[in-house]
Structure 1
Amino acid sequence: MTELSTRRLVTRLLLVVVTMFAFGFALVPIYDVMCQAFGINGKTAGAYQGSQAEDATRQVRVQFLATNAAGMNWEFRPEADDITVAPGASNQMLFVAANPTDKPMTAQAIPSVSPSKAAAFFHKTECFCFTQQVLQPGERIEMPVRFIVDRDLPADVRHLTLAYTLFDVTARIPPHAQAKR
């Protein structure tokens, strides 16, 4: 190789490294834009501060979905498929989980709200997703989610979906921590 071709190769390799770094850095904003464009993976609003008067003139349908991640074999479902709520009112839905295995298991639920533009107006005041759930073999529990649909929800949004995916996180907990539970 000549000195000129070596220089070109080094320049090209450096350009590839810089491009890869820039692409990796841009992945999070690209992901957020894609989620916004396709209306997926809406993250719920943060902790709800304050209170609102109920807007009885408006009704919003809230649908509930429960799915298990790969490898999670709990029974997991909402008590009802959907409810109709008034913005500003406090609401509750129970989710039921059961561990049909012969081992204690720990699970974590990850929520998502769609459409994504409505996620900022969905406030969970209490949720089983805030903590990990530990169930003994054959144990069944009812887990509440309490929420408020904000009065400032855009008027064109008449239907929200609150979806949970339940993950088995038993293997991620150190054995000494599992013994204390």
Structure 2
Amino acid sequence: MATIDEASVTSVKEQLDLKNKLLVRKILWMLLGSLLFAFALVPMYDVLCSLTGLNGKTNSTTAVLSKAKVDNSRWLNVQFTTNVMPGLGWNFYPKQANIKLHPGQIETVIFVAKNTTNEVVVGRAVPSVTPGIAATNLKKIECFCFVNQSLKPGEEKEMPLRFFVSPELPKDVSDMTLSYAFFPSVDGDR
């Protein structure tokens, strides 16, 4: 019978322990990297949305407003649509379904929200603009979508949207849709 050398068994155990420690370190580094990436996603997404106009996020600086000139040579038809997500218990609609404006012209549109429940409900509006090129040219000056909206039981509220569309919008775009979806607020701000 062959005998097992105690020194070689100890050596194999030490090598196995070393490999296990290296594996644990690699897994911990991967976990740490994943957590850091997850926390960095929100600011990276906000920057991406601001640059591209995705998710309705647009630049609304007053510097842009002061440089805008009205392009009276063309018209733009802006349509407004609304949705209320399940669980909110609101009616929500624009007072005007669409408007016609000149690029650069400042307009105000009123949206109406009514709480149909017997409790205070907080909602958050998420905008969407189509076509995509129009999203980067939509400049919101005042919008109910900037903050959470709270409605008491049965309360009805008029909410203004003050905006303009940059004259830099390509001339082949003559129609755009601005859609708002109201979701129940997840952070509960009132």
Pairwise TM-score range, normalised by the shorter structure: 0.7 to 0.9
Question: TM-score, normalized by length of structure 2?
Answer: 0.70
2: distance between equivalents of 1:118 and 1:99? 31
2: distance between equivalents of 1:32 and 1:171? 21
Q: CA RMSD in A?
A: 3.4
**Worse-matched range after superposition: 139-148 or 153-162:** 153-162
After superposition, the Cα gap between the structure-2 partners of 1:14 and 1:172, relative to the gap in structure 1 and judged at 3 Å, is closer
State, as a whole percentage, how many aligned pairs show the same letter.
36
Q: Which residue of 1 aligns with 2:128?
A: 112
Q: Which residue of 2 aligns with 1:101?
A: 117
1: distance between equivalents of 2:150 and 2:91? 14
After superposition, the Cα gap between the structure-2 partners of 1:7 and 1:131, relative to the gap in structure 1 and judged at 3 Å, is closer
Say which of 157, 162, 181 aligns to 2:173. 157
Deviations 1:58-84 (A, max 9, x none): 222222121223311100011233222
Q: How many matched pairs? A: 173
Say which of 14, 23, 36 aligns to 1:9. 23
Asked if the contact 1:44–1:111 (Cα under 8 Å) also holds between the matched residues in 2, the reply is no
Q: Which residue of 1 aligns with 2:60?
A: 46
2: distance between equivalents of 1:136 and 1:120? 35
Question: TM-score, normalized by length of structure 1?
Answer: 0.72
Q: Which amino acid aligns with 1:134?
A: S
2: distance between equivalents of 1:51 and 1:86? 15
1:143 aligns with 2:159: yes
After superposition, the Cα gap between the structure-2 partners of 1:103 and 1:18, relative to the gap in structure 1 and judged at 3 Å, is closer
CA displacement at 1:45 relative to structure 2: 1.7
Q: Which runs of 5+ in 2 are unaligned?
A: 1-12
Say which of 69, 84, 94 aligns to 2:85. 69
1:55 aligns with 2:55: no
Q: Which runs of 5+ in 1 are unaligned?
A: none
After superposition, the Cα gap between the structure-2 partners of 1:36 and 1:147, relative to the gap in structure 1 and judged at 3 Å, is closer
